[in-house]
Structure 1
Amino acid sequence: MSQFTVTGRFKSRDGFADFETTIDAENENVAREHALSQLGSQHGLKRTEIDLEEVSAQ
C-alpha cells in the first residue's frame, strides 16, 4: 500500500476549516473515499460538506 496526503476543507460552525491527513490506500480513489469517510464520521459531516482539494502520493 502507498501513503497519500489528502488536503482540503470542510464546513464547520465558524465557516470553513482546513485539514491535511495521511492515509494508507491502494490508489488515489480509495484514499479519497477513506478521507471522506473519516471526516464525515469524526465531525458529523455529509460528503457534500467536504471539499477535497488535493490528493498526492508520498
Structure 2
Amino acid sequence: MSQFAVSGRFQDRTGYRSFQKTIEAPNENVAREHTLSQLGSEHGLKRTQVEVEEVTAA
C-alpha cells in the first residue's frame, strides 16, 4: 500500500478549517474515502461539508 497526503477544508461553526492527513491506501480514491470517513467520525460532519482539495502520493 502507498501513502497519500490528503488536504482540504471542512465547514465548522465559525467558518472553514483546513486539514491535512496522511493516509495509507491502495489508490487515491480509497484515500479520499478514508479521509471523508475519518473526518465525519471525528467531527460529526457530512460528506457535503468536506472539501478535498488535493490528494498526492507522499
Q: TM-score, normalised by structure 2?
A: 0.98
Query: Structure 2 stretches of 5 or more lacking a match?
Result: none
* Counterpart residue number, 1:3: 3
| C-alpha distance after superposition, 1:2-54 (max 9, x if no partner) | 00000000000110000000000000000000000000000000000000000
| Equivalent residue runs for 1:14-53 within 5 Å | 14-53=14-53
Among all aligned residue pairs of Structure 1 and Structure 2, give the percentage whose two residues are the same amino acid.
66
Q: How many residues align?
A: 58
Q: CA RMSD in A?
A: 0.3
